[in-house]
Every structure is written in structure tokens, then in C-alpha cells.
Amino acid sequence: MPDMDDVQDGKNYHFGTPQQANVFFLKGSNSLEWGMKNRLARIFNPASGKTVMLAVDHGYFQGPTTGLERIDVSIVPLVPYADALMITRGALRTSVPPEISKPVVLRSTGGQSILKELSNELVAVDIEDAVRVNASALAVQVYIGGQHEHESIGNLVKVADAGNRYGIPTLGVTGVGKELVRDANYLGLATRICAEMGAHFVKTYYCEKNFERVAAACPVPVVIAGGKKLPEPEALAMAYHAIQQGAAGVDMGRNIFQCEAPTAMIQAVRAVVHEQEHPDKAYELYLSLKEGSKTEKTVLAR
């Protein structure tokens, strides 16, 4: 208990200074409560307003994807360069040291495999378990136009409602089946539905034509998926064009961890996203860091 002796009246009231009421830096988020904003500000860099998320949740339906055979060996060294880690609770608990302080975007739906219909998912994480692992956001796959569209939207609603009770934001992830075209019309439809149903930010694919319309029409931040493995210059160019056209970041997986030099690649991606580096310059950075890594390994081997 505080000592009550010699208690003095306060004197620094700053009468001439109005109390600050700052506008939150992420679009669509200003009316959220403090906990939501705090978690979003851990995922998105307040200085740039952008994020580089590292997606390593593929195993929830693909199994041991190339590059993710040993998350503890191949992914943990990359985490310091990411703004956030998108991962399942199983991989998090078994393979990621709790000393790592990066925010976790927790994969929260699943229940299918590549051997079955991909849109047939359910809510796969209880909100209390998300709290136990200190999740900063909950990721939900939504299959607009898919066989189980209705159920996947229901999953988003359930997770968003649960997250709202605990101040944990929800990421809506647009899942696109092989039979659907990833154009601006479809992506605009899918991202808008996710936002309208309660997602606080949305992950979707980049399209070369009219992506700026997709980003502008979505009332919450849009983060692009890396998608399939591309040559490094193409992946950097995709990230650059997405950012220039309104994306608030990237959530890359295979285009980082399947690279010959993943640590160099994620740093090049960061330069594009946070510093708006031109992709040609970013690729030069990638090559320089890659060569430096080879030289270091050669020296250590001697």
C-alpha cells in the first residue's frame, strides 16, 4: 500500500494542452477497442502501415509441404525478419520457441485435406485456446463460390464473434477453387463479403488488372497471398505492384521458404513492403544478401 505520509497535490495538469484523440492508422479500425487496435498494431507496422506476414500454416491440409518439413529448422530462423507469423496451434506449440515475441496469426479453421473437397472446413480452434497461445489474430478461410460457401461464411461469423469478446481481430482468407477465376470481380466480391461479415483484415490474391479496385472497395486492410512459388524477381514485382495499388502488406509462404536463400528473400520483401523499394533494387538486395550468406558459410566451413 502506498505510504500516505507527505502526500503532495499534483501540479502538472497541462491546462493549455488538449488531450490527444489520435486517429488509428489502419483503415476501418478507428472504432475498434483498445485491445483490438493494440493487436493490429503489432501485426502492422505503425510507421509504414504495412505488414510482412510469414505464412507457414500449409500443413493443416497439405501435410509436410516442401520447405516446411521441419519448421523448427527452416522457419524459426526467418521469424525475426517477419512482422507476424501465420501458423497452426500444433506447429506453434511443437516447433516455435515461446521466447519469440512476434505476433501470431492463428489458423482457426480446418478439417479437410488435399484429398477431399477443400471448402469443407469447420472452426478448428476454441477461442480460449487462442487466448492461451497469445494469438494476435484468428485466420478463417472463406470459400466464396465454393461448394461449402455458406458453412465457411458461418465459420467466419463464429470466429469473429468469439474474437470480439476477447479483443482478438479476425483475418478473413479468401480461398479460391480451381474452377474460379481470380479476377478483380471475384476478388472484390470475396474480400467485401469477408469485411462485411466481420473480418478486421482480409487476405486475398493479387490480380494484374484492376487490383486497385479490390483494395479500394474493401473497407478493411487487404494483405496479398504469395501463392505458388514464382521466380524471385516476379514475386518481388507482384508484392511491389500490390502495395502500389493499395495493399497493406503481404502474407508470403512458398515464395520465401522455398527460395534458395529464404533469409535474403524475406529481407528483400520487407524492403518492397515497408520502404517501397522498386523490385529491381529489391532483387539486387536479394542477390547481395544471398551471396553474403554463401561467403559466410564458406568462411565457417574452413
266 contacts 54 by C-beta, under 8 angstroms: yes
Tell me whether residue 281 is one of the annotated catalytic residues.
no
Give Rg (Cα) of the chain. 21
Other residues' Cβ atoms within 10 Å of the Cβ of residue 128: 9
Catalytic residue selected from 37, 203, 209, 294: 203
The DSSP bridge pattern shows strands 137-142 and 249-252 to be unpaired
> Hey, what amino acid is at 89?
R
**Number of residues written out for the chain:** 302
CB 36 within 8 A of CB 26: no
Residue in the block written with cell 494483405: 223
Query: What phi and psi values does residue 33 have, to the nearest 5 degrees?
Result: -80, 170
Helix (H) or strand (E) holding 246: none
Give the residue from 248, 187, 174 showing the smallest Cα distance to 26: 248
Dist CA 171 CA 44 (whole Å) = 13
**Is residue 122 helix, strand or coil?**
strand
13 φψ region: left (φ > 0), alpha (ψ -120 to 50), beta (else)? alpha
CA distance 189 to 210: 13
Q: Which residues are catalytic?
A: 203
